[in-house]
Amino acid sequence: MTYDNKQAMMTPVKNFYKKEGRTSELDRKLGELVQALALCHNVTPFLSKKTNKMEFEAASPDEKTLVEIAQELNVELIARDDKLVKIRVPGD
């Protein structure tokens, strides 16, 4: 499968992940995958003074995109430092 942009890639994942009432093993694994995308990287969140919104700084555009994808799926990177990575997941 080939995608032209991030939005095209996100559509099938969003549709699957956001469906209400899913409780299968695949659903659980997909939720864990999205949480891993939000945790396993070197991206630093910061509050933009211009937009007053959370933005991300990363050496790798790939890592930044994976964190943005997780955020679009409601798994948000909140804070990061040398000892801590904090995320918000649905239901927190």
Encode pLDDT of 16-26 as tens digits: 555 555 567 77
Q: Which residues contact 86 (CB under 8 A, 6 or more apart)?
A: 77, 78, 79, 80
Q: What is the pLDDT of residue 34?
A: 79
Domain extents in the chain: 44-92
3-state SS, residue 88: strand
Q: Which parts of the chain register pLDDT below 50?
A: 1-3
> What is the pTM (predicted TM-score) of this model?
0.66
Distance of alpha carbon 44 from alpha carbon 62, whole angstroms: 14
Q: What is the pLDDT of residue 56?
A: 93
